[in-house]
Amino acid sequence: MTTKISLHAVSKSYGAHIVLHGVTLAIAEGSVVTLIGPSGSGKSTLLRCINLLEPIDDGEIYLDGEDISVPGLDANPVRRRIGMVFQNFNLFPHMSVIENIILSPTRTLGVPKAEARLKAMELLERFALADKADSYPDQLSGGQQQRVAIVRALAIEPEVLLLDEITSSLDPELVGEVLDVVRELKASGMTLILATHEMGFARDTSDVVCVLDSGHIIEQGPPSQVFTAPKSERAQQFLQSIINSGRL
């Protein structure tokens, strides 16, 4: 398997607070990599760095072997290859669902409007949202909004999708419909990197699980190994606390 994204000794700090300590990680094409760990461990920051929303202080990030973390590099073409979905959906409230979806294809890729709409409708149909095309985000449930946000990210045909705790602000009964979408994306062969607190989902769906703690990857491997036989003591503690709270 070829490596799609690799991080080499990536460090990031906000002032004196170090968020990422030399993170090194390779993500194979078509694989699902899950980042787990306590809040504040650096999961979201790592995703934002890969999307170049946050500049990194040290180290390199490679996409298809090309260094995308070069200071001063035009981030926009890179971002069109790496989609991102956020915890709070971040749909544009002044635009209808379909307008949200076609904004980037028409404005950044120069796709004609009619063609972009057609493709957006196909995507909406695929995720059972076709009847919501002309609704506004506020009129949708959280689960529907998040599925629209995923469709919006897919509309620019990214090679990699970053999912940042996309079920964390959903009501429990809506989590399932969003996770189903992620499963479908995995089946379609897309490279996915997700930060999540859904441990059961991480165990069942991931190819690789990384446990982050205070900006370090303290455990990394297939879920069968990470969840059952973690090597580091800190990872054992973290998993134990999850098991104790009944979330696995």
Partner 1 sequence: MATTTSRRAVYEQKRKRRSIAVATVSSLIVVTAIVLLVPRMPRWDRVRQSFFNGERFRDSFPRLLDAFILDIKIFAWSAPLILILAMVIAMARNSRSPALFPVRALTIAYTDIMRGVPIILWIYLIGFGVPGLGLDRPWNSPLLWGSVALVLTYASYVAEVFRAGIESVHESQRAAARSLGLSNWQTMRFVVIPQAVRRVVPPLMNDLVSLQKDVALVSLIGPIEILRQAGIEKAKFANFTPYIGAAVIFLSITIPLTRTTDYMMERERRRTTGTRVR
Binding-site size for partner 1 (CB under 8 A) equals 25
Q: Give CA–CA dist 34/26, Å, rounded.
A: 12
Amino acid at 9: A
Contact yes or no for 214/205 (Cβ under 8 A): no
The smaller minimum CB distance to partner 1, of residues 21 and 152, is found at 152
Nearest to 5 by CA among 77, 45, 62: 62
Binding of residue 140 to partner 1 (CB under 8 A): no
The smaller minimum CB distance to partner 1, of residues 14 and 92, is found at 92
Binding of residue 73 to partner 1 (CB under 8 A): no
Site string for partner 1, 143-182 (x = CB under 8 A): ------x--xx--x--------------------------
Contact yes or no for 78/50 (Cβ under 8 A): no
User: Which of 108, 139, 237, 241 touches partner 1 (CB under 8 A)?
Assistant: 108
Q: Which residues pair with 209 in a beta bridge?
A: 34, 221
The smaller minimum CB distance to partner 1, of residues 6 and 88, is found at 88
User: Which of 83, 137, 143, 223 touches partner 1 (CB under 8 A)?
Assistant: 83
The smaller minimum CB distance to partner 1, of residues 51 and 69, is found at 51
Interface stretch with partner 1, choices 13-21, 74-82, 127-135, 234-242 (CB under 8 A)? 74-82
Binding of residue 76 to partner 1 (CB under 8 A): yes
Nearest to 5 by CA among 49, 37, 56: 49
Across 31-167, where does the E strand assignment appear?
32-36, 58-63, 66-67, 82-85, 160-164
User: Which of 91, 124, 150, 151 touches partner 1 (CB under 8 A)?
Assistant: 91
The smaller minimum CB distance to partner 1, of residues 156 and 178, is found at 156
Q: In what order do the strands lie in the sheet with 216-221?
A: 82-85, 160-164, 191-195, 32-36, 208-213, 216-221
Q: Which residues contact 242 (CB under 8 A, 6 or more apart)?
A: 199, 248
In the complex, the smallest distance separating the C-beta of residue 75 from partner 1, rounded to whole angstroms, is 8
Q: What Rg value do the Cα atoms of the chain yield, rounded?
A: 18
Contact yes or no for 121/96 (Cβ under 8 A): no
Binding of residue 51 to partner 1 (CB under 8 A): yes
User: Which of 79, 117, 132, 147 touches partner 1 (CB under 8 A)?
Assistant: 79
Residues making contact with partner 1 (CB under 8 A)? 48, 51, 53, 75-77, 79-80, 83-84, 86, 88, 90-94, 103-104, 107-108, 149, 152-153, 156
